[in-house]
Amino acid sequence: MNTDDVQIAFPLLIGDVGGTNARFQILRDRISEPISFPNLRTANHSTIEQAIQSGILDKTDVKPRAALIAAAGPIENQSLELTNHNWSIKPNDFLYKLQIEELALLNDFEAQALATISFKPGDIIKLGNGEPIDNSNRVIVGPGTGLGVSGLISNQNTWIPVPSEGGHVSSGPQSEEDFSIWQHFDNSSGRVSAEQIISGRGIVNIYNAVSLASGRKPKLSSPDAITAAALLGNDGLSVKTVDLFCRYLGRVAGDLALTFLARGGVYIAGGIGKHILPILAKSQFRSEFENKHPHCDLMRSIPTYLIIHENAALSGLAAFARNQSSFGVDTKDRRWRV
């Protein structure tokens, strides 16, 4: 049954569930610090219920009454299937097996959006100039396995997260250099999406295209190997690849800033940005972000940040749970009770 008008119960289990890792905390109440647990590898557990039971509930005397889970996957037909793993969350099974009274499900990037309200100075690194305007819209862009995008809208003293499929917008060449490598991207679907170049596999796609455009055979095949070589500076193709990745990230982040008029800032989430920070900080990311004629002055005023908080999504879930009335989170058909 839908319980959108009822405050979520405590103690509360909060979770950030991705294709590779699942992170959980327990909130005793609205004011206590969260109880933390080691990250769980999804591959090590057959189901989410088994992971929570053995990795969380068996290790604490605090019994959650409710669960608030952000997961990387669509909610369809009263079920959530993870996009990049074989776990599924079926609310009735979840509540019965774990003996929990209530479950609410959010999109993983909704939680990332909520987190921007609770960040402290040490949770983010500013990239370039610009200053945020209080109570203004924000955008979150997260290159990882895919390209996650969400917005956070400020309206009448309420923060409203907006999940999206913005990572699948079309992307195109702008410079002569772009045109030389774009022909080597896979456009069998009729276009090249942002996710094809701004993600883990996007790094490989750029590397292959740069290699072919320069008449050389690609030697590296994983994003980790390419970024490692780029950070060492000992492979020209890898250095070029990561430089282009940063530039293209800036372009798409700028497009999204215009779309949401994100005067409150644009936040870069995901592990890739943190991993390549030494390159990202010196790259053309910011100049590409600002290069949006005729709105360059507007773009220069919008700040960009890299999220370095290790558990940003959990921080967002906790902020929502502790002060639910401040957020316009629509949980219709995404909240169940026994």
E-strand stretches of the chain: 12-17, 21-27, 35-36, 40-41, 66-71, 75-76, 79-81, 88-89, 102-107, 124-126, 138-143, 147-155, 158-163, 266-268, 304-307, 335-337
Instruction: Note whether 129 and 188 are same-domain residues.
Output: yes
Residue 39 pLDDT grade (very low, low, confident, very high; cuts 50, 70, 90): very high
pLDDT above 80 (res 3):
no
Given this model, what pLDDT does residue 145 score? Answer: 82
How do residues 253-278 score in pLDDT, each as one tens digit? 999 999 999 999 999 998 899 999 99
Domain-located, residue 73: yes
Give dist(CA 134, CA 303) in Å, integer. 12
E-strand stretches of 114-215: 124-126, 138-143, 147-155, 158-163
Give dist(CA 219, CA 214) in Å, integer. 13
Token representation of residue 122: 């040490």
Instruction: Note whether 54 and 151 are same-domain residues.
Output: no
Give dist(CA 253, CA 105) in Å, integer. 27
Given this model, what pLDDT does residue 2 score? Answer: 39
Given this model, what pLDDT does residue 331 score? Answer: 85
Instruction: Note whether 106 and 167 are same-domain residues.
Output: no
- Is 149:166 a contact under the CB 8 Å cutoff? yes
The closest of 156, 163, 144, 119 to 265, measured between CA atoms, is 119
Residue 5 pLDDT grade (very low, low, confident, very high; cuts 50, 70, 90): low
Domain-located, residue 21: yes
pLDDT above 60 (res 31):
yes
Instruction: Note whether 238 and 169 are same-domain residues.
Output: yes
Domain-located, residue 272: yes
Write the CB contacts of 82 (distance below 8 Å, at least 6 apart in sequence).
17, 18, 19, 42, 71, 72, 73, 88
Segment 163-168 mean pLDDT? 87
Domain-located, residue 5: no
pLDDT above 90 (res 81):
no
Instruction: Note whether 153 and 275 are same-domain residues.
Output: yes
pLDDT above 80 (res 100):
yes
pLDDT above 60 (res 172):
yes
Going by their DSSP bridges, the two strands 158-163 and 75-76 should be labelled as: unpaired
Given this model, what pLDDT does residue 330 score? Answer: 84
Give dist(CA 109, CA 95) in Å, integer. 24
How do residues 176-216 score in pLDDT, each as one tens digit? 999 999 999 998 889 999 999 999 999 999 999 999 999 99
Segment 40-46 mean pLDDT? 94
Segment 70-85 mean pLDDT? 82
Given this model, what pLDDT does residue 325 score? Answer: 87
Give dist(CA 125, CA 268) in Å, integer. 10
Domain-located, residue 264: yes
Average confidence score pLDDT of the chain: 93
pLDDT above 50 (res 33):
yes
Instruction: Note whether 151 and 250 are same-domain residues.
Output: yes
The closest of 213, 211, 254, 212 to 229, measured between CA atoms, is 211
Greatest Cα-to-Cα distance within the chain, rounded to the nearest angstrom: 62
Segment 286-290 mean pLDDT? 98
CATH of the domain at 63: 3.30.420.40
* % of residues, the chain, pLDDT over 70: 98
The closest of 15, 11, 3 to 89, measured between CA atoms, is 15
* Per-residue DSSP letter, 9: P
Given this model, what pLDDT does residue 73 score? Answer: 80
Instruction: Note whether 90 and 161 are same-domain residues.
Output: no
The closest of 125, 254, 258, 269 to 199, measured between CA atoms, is 269
What count of residues does the chain have? 338
How do residues 105-158 score in pLDDT, each as one tens digit? 998 889 999 999 989 889 999 999 999 999 999 999 999 888 989 999 999 889
Domain-located, residue 3: no
Instruction: Note whether 318 and 299 are same-domain residues.
Output: no
The strand order across the sheet containing 266-268 reads: 124-126, 304-307, 266-268, 138-143, 147-155, 158-163
Domain-located, residue 50: yes
Q: Which domain holds residue 53?
A: 12-113+312-337
Instruction: Note whether 39 and 143 are same-domain residues.
Output: no
pLDDT above 50 (res 1):
no
Instruction: Note whether 91 and 136 are same-domain residues.
Output: no
- Is 112:319 a contact under the CB 8 Å cutoff? no
How much is the pTM? 0.90
Instruction: Note whether 319 and 256 are same-domain residues.
Output: no
Cα angle 151, 153, 251 (rounded to 5 degrees) comes to 40
Give dist(CA 322, CA 186) in Å, integer. 45
Instruction: Note whether 55 and 128 are same-domain residues.
Output: no
Domain-located, residue 1: no
Q: How many domains does the chain have?
A: 2
Separation in Å, CA 213 to CA 177, 227, 259, 286, 316: 9, 19, 32, 26, 43
CATH of the domain at 222: 3.40.367.20
Token representation of residue 110: 């909704």
Strand partners, 25: 14, 36
Give dist(CA 172, CA 226) in Å, integer. 23
